[in-house]
Each structure stands twice: as structure tokens, then as C-alpha cells.
Amino acid sequence: MVYDVIIVGAGMGGLFSAFELIEKEPSLKIKIIEKGKKLDDRKCFVSSTKQCIRCNPCSIMSGEVGAGGGSDFKTILSPSYGGWLQDYIGWDQTQELINQFNDILERFGDQTEIKYPDEELQQRCLRHNLRLVSSPLKHIGTDHGRIIMKNMIDFLLEKGVEIDTEKDVQSISKLQENLFEIETNKTNENSRMVILAVGRVGNKFIEDFCVKNGIKVHSNHVDLGVRVELPSPIWKEFEDKIYEPKIQYRTKTYEDTTRMFCHNSRGYVVTENTNGILTTNGHAYKDEKLKTNNSNFAILSSIHFTEPFDNPIEYVSSIAKLSNIIGNGNVLIQRFGDLIRGRRTTDSRLAMSTTIPTLKATPGDLSLVLPKRIMDNIIETIYALNQVAPGTSNDDSLLYGVEAKYYSIRPETSENFEISKNVYCIGDGSGITRSLSQAGAMGIYVAKKILNNDHE
């Protein structure tokens, strides 16, 4: 059997590509190959044991719906942030595709209210040298997001799209100009076209594919920092009005840019496992019964390397690995009060904390892991944020580390995102997106190009 299109990865990019293709051209033979589990079988044990048991592949990052399946399902409804798709295809077209992405979510059952930017909060932040980046946004929630995506997957299956889970694509070989062999750990498949939608976990896969096929790649910047957890009343006003305060700050000491983002109201801190290295992240449920008393968010400092070093992912992975070494195989947790007094957090100091952690991490000292410059940036940002949300710099605010956002390398691409004839690369794995809506939008865009037979 030769498929018309094989999509590697059942994340947002892959699923939205498949949707657009089958909706517009029902006769297409499409297969999605995913290395993780079916959505219903995905389970992160952190929610029950509070501790990562290092599943392979990680259930937060892999499986049907990809990283979206373990996410907070905040959907950003403009190109204001969440990736760089607008740099390639323009703001208006990106906005149109995001609208289409949102219409599809609504078609499969989403009715979440949209939160709009709030001028008064923006002004308050500006008065304290903080820039509140705003976009219309929905908090769909981990639980509700899964229901919507399950409806979408059922629709795809009904329409004849095949989804093979727990199959890891090992390599792709070109047999002829429009015939590829996709080798997995279990079967080999043939297809006329391939869409690589492998997400951030597939970074190495993309790198290997590019090396094998002589495709030039560009490295991206990296963001490094911590996840902060504190009692939810501290950011309640922002959460109620806009759900996600995404705030940028320029530090006074180094004039570096930091950002507070990925805010999870009354949520959970979780670990994500990328190729065996644990870093932090967070999410929140919609169901009132599953909410906690804490909110969490990331504070990250951006790093742009210049010549001769061009492997930022290796840099961040090494730092994350160091936190796992000191944390005895786990991520670290430290009270802000301990950090600024220059001492580690111990079990007994943590036991006295009035903020009860939602993740079991190893009490320790983040200053032994993060470079001084990054640590200084984070501390300065916490004090700056404290001016608009007093309580942020309380001694019992908890810092988990490290949190790292290393965006995949960017393969050189055509304007159709075709990195080699009949091979497309989309979503976070292309290094161009970093959000559900942009990954989905890019998936729809590439499907349209394929349907229009718009090749290089």
C-alpha cells in the first residue's frame, strides 16, 4: 500500500494537517505515525505520585495530541506570541489560519470564553518597567482540551485517516522523487509525501534527517530559567481578567530580556522528559475539583549565542542535566527566601513553607546550577513582578529548576515549508512555532499547499 501522505507525529501540527487534507480531499490515503500512546492511554504518573518515573516516551510530551495532550491548552488567538509563523507568511495570513484553527476547535466542542487584553493592567505594568504582552486567549484546560481533541481524532478515524501509535519512525529514505520509505521500529511504510510534525521531542530526528539529506540548518536562541509556584491569590486579579499574564522585563544589571509566561492558574507543576533529561513545566485543569491552591509560571532569560558556538540546545541540556545530577535524578526545588539568603533548601526548610509544592522535587540550591547572570536576572525579575503582584517575592515562593525552552533547529525551508522535495516540516519541530495555535495553523497551511499542488 502506498499512502498519499504520511505524517510523522500526532501532535497539533500533524492532526490539523490531516484534518485539512481529509476534509478537503476525502479520497486521500493518509496515515499518521506516532511514537507515544493513544490519548486515552496517556498517563503522567506525576499527577498521582507527584514524582516523574521517566516513562519512555514521556507521556507529557508524546502520544496522540503530542505535547498538547499534557498541556494547559491555553490557546493564543493572535500571532502576538507563540512562534514566528508570521515572519514567514505574514501577520494577516497567520491570523486567518489561527482563526481557522479556533473554528475547528469550536466545531469539536469548544465553547470557552475568550479573554481580551486589559488596558489598566497594561498601564500598571508599564509604570513598573514591565511590558505586558497581550493577545486574545482561551484557557481550555488540560481536561477539556483532551475531550475536544478526542472528538477530532474520532472524526479523522471515521474519515479513514489511519493513526498508528507506539511506532517510532527511525528513518525516511527516498526511493524515487515522489516515493518514500518510512522505516519504523515495527513496520515499513511507503508514501508519496511526508509531513514531519515531530515537535520539540523530535529535534534530534530532524537534525539527523537534515544531515542525511544535506539540508542546511540554523540554530535558534534558548530560554533558561525556573518555574515559580505561589499561592493563587497573588496573581488572581490578572488571572481573572486575562488568564495569562505574559510579561517581559529588561533587567537593569545586564539589560538582558527576561519573560514571565506559561501561567497556570490553580494548576500543577510537572516535569517533562526530553531524551532522559528532566525539566519543569506546568498545566491546569478546567474542572473545579481538580484545581489546586497554587498558581505557577515560568521566568526565563533569553540567551543568543554568537560565533563560534552554535549548539544552544547542547548548552541548555547540559545545565538541565546538572540540575538532575544534583537533584539525584530529579529537578530541584528552592524557596525564594533560601535562594536570596545564599543557602540551600532542605527537607525541613521546605516542610515549614506555607506554599505547599504540587510537585515532589529535590530540595536544593539552584545557584549551583544556573549561571550567575541567569540567576541574577531571575531574582531581579521576581522583585520587579512583586511591584504589580505583591507577594511574588515572598520567602515561601517556590522555584523549581530548571525550566528550559530550547526551540528546535530551523531547517532551511521553502515558503511552503518543504525542506526537501515532497517532505514538509511543520510545528515546533521546524523551530518556527512554540504554541498550540501556531503549530495547528502551520499544519493547516501546509495541507493547503499540498492540496493546491504548490511545490517548490
Ligand X SMILES: Cc1cc2nc3c(=O)[nH]c(=O)nc-3n(C[C@H](O)[C@H](O)[C@H](O)COP(=O)(O)OP(=O)(O)OC[C@H]3O[C@@H](n4cnc5c(N)ncnc54)[C@H](O)[C@@H]3O)c2cc1C
Q: Which residues bind ligand X (CB under 6 A)?
A: 8-14, 33-36, 57, 60-63, 66-68, 70-74, 76, 82, 168-169, 197-202, 205, 270, 272, 281, 283, 427-429, 434-437, 439
Instruction: Show the cell assigned to 404.
Output: 528550559
Q: Which is nearer to ligand X, 71 or 251 (CB)?
A: 71
Q: Rounded to an integer, what distance in angstroms lies between the CA atom of residue 336 and that of residue 352?
A: 13
Nearest distance from residue 291's CB to ligand X, in Å? 16
Q: Checking DSSP bridges between strand 30-33 and strand 162-164, what pairing results, if any?
A: parallel
Question: What is the nearest approach in angstroms of ligand X to the Cβ of residue 349?
Answer: 27
One-letter identity of residue 375? M
CB of 393 to ligand X, least distance (A): 25
Burial class (CB in 10 A: 0-12, 13-18, 19+), 387: middle
- Structure-derived torsion over alpha carbons of residues 237, 241, 244, 245, reported in degrees to the nearest 10: -60
- Neighbour-count burial of 53, counting CB atoms closer than 10 A to its CB (0-12 exposed, 13-18 middle, 19+ buried): exposed
For ligand X, the closer CB: 150 or 335: 150
Query: What nine digits make up the cell of 44?
Result: 503522567
Q: Which three cell numbers stand for residue 276?
A: 532522559
Instruction: Pick between residue 5 and residue 384 the one whose CB is nearest to ligand X.
Output: 5
DSSP letter for 216, please.
-
Alpha helices (H) in 292-345, listed in sequence order: 312-326, 336-340
Smallest distance, ligand X to C-beta of residue 203, A: 9
Q: With respect to ligand X, which residue has the nearer C-beta, 260 or 350?
A: 260
Which string of b and e fits 287-316 if b means at least 16 CB within 10 Å? Answer: eeeebbebbbbbbbbbbeeeeeeeebbebb
> Which is closer to ligand X, CB of 83 or CB of 396?
83
Minimum CB separation of residue 106 from ligand X in Å reads 17
Measured from the CB atom, is 384 or 423 closer to ligand X? 423
Type and span of the H or E element at 38: none
- For ligand X, the closer of residues 74 and 259 by Cβ is 74
Kindly state the smallest distance separating residue 277's Cβ from ligand X, in Å.
13
Residue closer to ligand X (CB basis): 205 or 249:
205
Q: How far apart are CA 386 and CA 224, in angstroms?
A: 21
Shortest gap between Cβ of 185 and ligand X (angstroms)? 9
Nearest CA among 44, 93, 84 for reference residue 65: 44
Least distance CB 264 / ligand X (angstroms): 8
